[in-house]
Structure 1
Amino acid sequence: MLFGLLGNILTILVVWLRPHMRSSTYLYLSSMAVSDLLILLLLPLDLYKLWRPRPWPLGDLACKLTMFLSECCTFCTILHITFLSLERYVAVCWPITAKTVVTRRRTRVIIGCLWLGAAVSASPVLIMVGVEDVGGEEFGLNQECRCTHYAISSGLLSAMMILSNLYFLVPLCILGLVYTLIGRTLWLRPKSSRRDQSHRSTVKMLGVIVLAFVLCWLPFHVGRTILSLSLDSFTTYFNLVSSVLFYLSAAVNPLLYNLMSARYRLAVHSLIHKRSHTHPHRLRTLTARHSTTTL
Structure 2
Amino acid sequence: MLSESSYKMGGPNLCNVSYEFLINDATLEENHYNTASSFVYDVTYDCYTQSGICAYYLYEMTGETLIDHLKYIMIPQHYEYAKVIPFITVVGLLCLVGIIGNLLTIVVILRNRILQTTSNYLVSMAFSDLLILLLTGPMEVAYELKAWPWTYTRFMCRLRYFLIEACTFTSVLNITSFTTERYIAICHPIKAKSYVSHSRAIKIIVVIWIVSLGVSIPLFLGYDTYEICPGIPESTVCSIPTNEWNNIIDRLYVVSATLLFLIPMILITIFYSLIARVLYGVNVEVAVRRNSRRARNRNGINHNEKKKENSIERSRKQIVKMLALVAGCFASCWLPFHIIRILPNFIPYENLPIIYFDVFYKISIVLMYTSATINPILYNIMSARFRQAFKKTILCQESCVSPTRSRHHETFQTTADPHCLKCRGTSTLC
Q: Normalised by the size of structure 1, how large is the TM-score? A: 0.88
2:218 to 124, 131, 145: 124
Higher helix content, 1 or 2: 1
Structure 2 matches for 1:4-43, cutoff 5 A? 4-23=98-117, 25-41=118-134, 42-43=136-137
Structure 2 matches for 1:1-295, cutoff 5 A? 1-23=95-117, 25-41=118-134, 42-135=136-229, 139-152=232-245, 155-166=247-258, 167-186=260-279, 187=281, 188-189=284-285, 193-227=310-344, 229-230=348-349, 231-236=352-357, 237-272=359-394, 273=396, 274-276=420-422
Deviation track 1:187-228 (CA, whole Å, cap 9, x = no partner) reads 223896443322211110011111111211111111222256
Task: Report the Cα distance in structure 2 between the residues aligned to 1:88 and 1:99, rounded to whole angstroms.
Answer: 12
Q: What residue ranges of structure 1 are gaps of 5+ in the alignment? A: 286-295
Equivalent in the alignment of 2:29? none
The Cα shift of 1:86 comes to 0.7
Task: Report the Cα distance in structure 2 between the residues aligned to 1:284 and 1:238, rounded to whole angstroms.
Answer: 53
Task: Report the Cα distance in structure 1 between the residues aligned to 2:244 and 2:315, rounded to whole angstroms.
Answer: 49
Deviation track 1:110-164 (CA, whole Å, cap 9, x = no partner) reads 000000010111011122110122348x7111111112224456x2022111122
The structure number with the bigger radius of gyration is 2
Amino acid at match of 2:120: L
Task: Report the Cα distance in structure 2 between the residues aligned to 1:72 and 1:12, rounded to whole angstroms.
Answer: 19
Contact 1:128 1:151 in 2 (8 A): no
Which structure ranks higher in relative contact order (CA pairs < 8 Å, sequence separation ≥ 6)?
Answer: 1
SS in structure 2 opposite 1:185?
helix
Task: Report the Cα distance in structure 1 between the residues aligned to 2:315 and 2:427, rounded to whole angstroms.
Answer: 37
Contact 2:423 2:429 in 1 (8 A): no
Q: Normalised by the size of structure 2, how large is the TM-score? A: 0.62
The number of aligned residues is 281
Contact 1:227 1:235 in 2 (8 A): no
| CA-based RMSD | 2.2
Task: Report the Cα distance in structure 2 between the residues aligned to 1:178 and 1:283, rounded to whole angstroms.
Answer: 47
Contact 1:130 1:146 in 2 (8 A): yes
Amino acid at match of 1:177: I
Contact 2:149 2:236 in 1 (8 A): yes
